[in-house]
Amino acid sequence: MRRLVPDHLRSGLKIVFVGFNPSLRSAEVGHHYANPSNRFWTILFKAGLTPRKYRPEEDHLLLEMGYGFTNIVERPTRTAAEITREEYQRGRQELRAKIQYYQPKTVCFVGKGVYQEYSGQHQIPWGLQTHSIIEGTLDFVAPSSSGLVRMTLDEVVDIYRGLVRS
């Protein structure tokens, strides 16, 4: 039986990481970025965002560092291609409400596709965006941490280092 992966959110966070939706593995264990092929925890450490490489089951501990987690869609799937238009539409509205309510300093979209679905924009550069959707919160677009991404780990880490400076 699958359980949902809980958000880890509270007011005043430095960064909220937003993914597409939970992987099947994340849903099984109830933690963000739990698929063994996902490089998220390695990326955070190598980018200087965490003092060590955390494990998925420690995701809630990052709240103490000012980092939160959520997804644009709650339903777990094997791939993001399985997410429906209706789920994105509902998720976009719910995500905007969460960002307005919690008011993090920066929202990091883990994947250009996540930001495309959220913003409706199509030409999106990596890093800090010139305009944010929610006033008072910075939008930052980073590559997906999936092992399927066609960028080297060093290239991905370099983009995430921009979060340290934001």
Question: Where in the chain are the domains?
Answer: 15-165
Residues of the chain with pLDDT under 70: 1-3, 166
Which contacts of 121-129 are long-range, i.e. CB under 8 A and separated by 24 or more positions? 126/159, 126/162, 127/159, 127/162, 128/162, 128/166
- As given in the structure block, the two tokens for residue 41 are 């925890």
- Would you state the pLDDT for residue 2? 52
Mean pLDDT over all residues of the chain?
94
DSSP code, position 91: H
Burial 67-94 (b: 16+ CB within 10 A, else e): bbbbbbbbebbeebeebeeebbeebbee
- Would you state the pLDDT for residue 146? 87
- Would you state the pLDDT for residue 1? 41
pLDDT in tens, 74-118: 999 998 889 999 999 999 999 999 999 999 999 999 999 999 999
Q: 15-165: what CATH class? A: alpha beta
- Would you state the pLDDT for residue 97? 97
